[in-house]
């Protein structure tokens, strides 16, 4: 399976993608816990049906020490006992922030308040940016039909 378009091969889109990748690298340096960032990235990618990003974030999370149990249960995180309350708050914010068009009113006050109980403002800002950046990456890859399966850990480092 080949992608519809090589996004990097075109000057404007290639430059935009590099800036988006830079945003992702900046978020990796934030105080938001790495495990939370990977869970958020993976959950948004699952919701958006982005096989390319699911491949990346499953492999990167595993390489960083994430357990297979937590990765396998992520799509059903509400029914799983393996996530912290902070992770649950981040996952709920991720789902509501990703499904803006599906949810009347977007992110609820209750969801925001719950996330704010577990993360300071710097972490909240990084969490919101992580959700937005992942949704942008997901959309680029889904639109261009960029397939998952061939990613190697550290490939984009």
**φ, ψ for residue 84 (rounded to 5)?**
-75, 165
Structure confidence at residue 92 as a pLDDT band (50, 70, 90)? very high
Task: Please report the pLDDT score of residue 1 as a whole number.
Answer: 80
DSSP 59-104: HHHHHTT--HHHHHHGGGGGG-SSS-HHHHHHHHHHHHHH-TTTST
d(Cα 52, Cα 146) in Å, to the nearest integer? Answer: 6
Structure confidence at residue 127 as a pLDDT band (50, 70, 90)? very high
Q: Which residue has the higher pLDDT, 55 or 104?
A: 55
Residue with token string 């948004």: 44
pTM over 0.85: yes
Exposed / middle / buried, residue 45 (Cβ in 10 Å: 0-12, 13-18, 19+): buried
Q: Which CATH superfamily is domain 32-143 in?
A: AhpD-like (1.20.1290.10)
pLDDT in tens, 23-35: 999 999 999 999 9
Task: Please report the pLDDT score of residue 48 as a whole number.
Answer: 97
Domain boundaries, the chain: 32-143
> Is the CB of residue 57 less than 8 Å from the CB of residue 148?
no
């Amino acid at each position: 399976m080949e992608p519809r378009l090589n996004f990097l091969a075109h000057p404007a889109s290639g430059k935009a993608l590099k800036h988006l990748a830079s945003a992702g690298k900046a978020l990796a340096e934030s105080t938001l816990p790495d495990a939370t960032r990977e869970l958020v990235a993976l959950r948004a990618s699952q919701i958006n049906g982005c096989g390319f990003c699911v491949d990346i974030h499953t492999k990167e999370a595993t390489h960083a020490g994430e357990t297979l149990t937590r990765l396998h249960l992520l799509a059903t995180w509400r029914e799983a006992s393996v996530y912290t309350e902070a992770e649950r708050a981040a996952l709920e914010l991720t789902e509501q922030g990703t499904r803006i068009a599906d949810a009347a009113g977007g992110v609820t006050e209750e969801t925001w308040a719950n996330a704010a109980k577990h993360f300071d403002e710097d972490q909240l800002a990084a969490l919101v940016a992580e959700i937005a950046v992942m949704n942008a990456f997901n959309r680029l890859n889904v639109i261009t039909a960029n397939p998952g399966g061939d990613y190697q850990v550290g490939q984009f480092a």
